Amino acid sequence: MRRLLRSLVTLAAFAAPPAACIAAASPVEVGPTISYEEIGSWDVAKLNEILTRSAPETFGVSVTYAPATNGVTLYRVTYGSVVPERGNRPIVATGLLAVPNVDGKTLPLVSYQHGTVYGKEDVPSFPDNSSETQLMIAAFAGRGYAMIGADYFGMGGSAKEPEGYGVKASHQQATFDMLAASRAVLASKGIATDKLFLGGWSQGGYVTMCFLERLEKTGVAVTAASTASGPADLYSFLSGFLDFPRENDASWISILYVLSSFSFEQYYGEPGLARSLFTDEYYETARKIYTRGEADISALPSDLTKLIRADYFDPTFFAESAYGRIAKESDAYRWIIKTPLRSYYGEADEVVSVGLAELAANYQQGIGGGNDKVVAISTGKTDHRGTFAKAVAEWQTWFDGVE
């Protein structure tokens, strides 16, 4: 389990050159519930250092990215939102806005949805803590795209709130309201956006699918969307490690059950859900890890049979439990997708199986004569991190070529 801590820390930050220091400034208000503050300025040299050295070292694969051509100014956006699962209770959330230092007043916009992290500030609006965010800033904001990334509820500026890991409607609300807030900030600077692109890795792949569903159903045009190692079905994702474990399953997948079960309990109002899932020996450890209390994350067992009660390894019991029912109702692929969508997967991914990563494409292509808007694409024998790194280069080429 020490590999769990090491993996999450590695994904949170790498040794990129330090950002330019910015003197603390008062937030600039754009509206009654929207404000922003400048948090950094990265030049072309720093961005290309990320693309050519830091990202390949961190993600473990050699990838050639299109180089950055402009510097970037970074902002933390704070905005009001609501928690749908809790009767639309108000919440204040945050996210990142990266604005390219270019002359154009109409920019393409990329919304990036981040993967699983443990630290509550290892999120887009704290980019120095997030290797995946740094790569996206360099790959897109460094090439003339405005880029945004929502910190999910319970993370970033809303860190005092319980985390909403895998909570579908809250993921949709956070990303949808972040998009609106960021467009308001850009408008205040005289910048409009035309094309809208979505991208997300791992948990962020799932959030991207949730976000796309919300955007399409509310009539917001999306130019193209893509995921890397994205599980579009939470039930299949969580069931797989219990019912059909693989030899290469990651040693740190225990954390997925901790974050999702307590999140479901908190957001859906299911008291005792997490206690029913975890063994007596590890329940308190799991609870403290979720709340970021005084718990040693390395004490969480990698052997799921020690962490999770035996009943949950019965597929029927799992499906009928509160935990299983919520997961089943949280899929994000069962609608007619209108946006061109590419789901990238790695053939050696230790977290998201090939079948799960291909699920959305197979479902869409199995509807009648097939929905050709959605395809699944292999990045080769890549692991979970390598799949993301290679997918970002593919996103660059694809998004740049969309008319």
SS3 192: strand
- Output DSSP code: residue 358: T
Per-residue pLDDT of the chain (403 residues; tens, 9 = 90+): 444 444 454 444 343 444 444 445 689 999 899 999 999 999 999 999 999 999 999 999 999 999 999 999 999 999 999 999 999 999 999 999 999 999 989 999 999 999 999 999 999 999 999 999 999 999 999 999 999 999 999 999 999 999 999 999 999 999 999 999 999 999 999 999 999 999 999 999 999 999 999 999 999 999 999 999 999 999 999 999 999 999 999 999 999 999 999 999 999 999 999 999 999 999 999 999 999 988 778 889 999 999 999 999 999 999 999 999 999 999 999 999 999 999 999 999 999 999 999 999 999 999 999 999 999 999 999 999 999 999 999 999 999 999 7
pLDDT value for 8: 53
Q: What would the two tokens of residue 283 be?
A: 């329940």
Q: How far apart are CA 53 and CA 62, in angstroms?
A: 9
Q: What would the two tokens of residue 317 be?
A: 């019991």
Q: How far apart are CA 97 and CA 111, in angstroms?
A: 9
CA 216 and chain centroid, separation: 19
Q: How far apart are CA 51 and CA 95, in angstroms?
A: 22
Give residue for tokens 């300025």: 41
Q: Where are the domains of the chain?
A: 12-232+336-401, 235-328
CB-count exposure of residue 37 (10 Å: 0-12, 13-18, 19+): middle
Q: How far apart are CA 236 and CA 243, in angstroms?
A: 10
Q: How far apart are CA 120 and CA 156, in angstroms?
A: 6
- Is the CB of residue 297 less than 8 Å from the CB of residue 4? yes
Among 307, 321, 267, 303, CA closest to 84: 267
CB-count exposure of residue 217 (10 Å: 0-12, 13-18, 19+): exposed
Provide the b/e sequence for 176-212 (b: ≥16 CB within 10 Å).
bbbbebbbbbbeeeebebebbbbbbbbbbbbbbbbbb
- Is the CB of residue 388 less than 8 Å from the CB of residue 350? no
Among 201, 223, 184, 70, CA closest to 137: 70
Q: Where are the beta strands (DSSP E) in 207-268?
A: 224-228
| 173 Cβ neighbours under 8 A, 6+ residues apart | 81, 82, 83, 84, 153
Whether the full predicted model's pTM is greater than 0.85, yes or no, is yes
Q: How far apart are CA 143 and CA 140, in angstroms?
A: 5
Q: How far apart are CA 130 and CA 124, in angstroms?
A: 7
- CATH architecture group of domain 12-232+336-401: 3-Layer(aba) Sandwich (3.40)
Phi then psi for residue 105, to 5 deg, are -105, 0
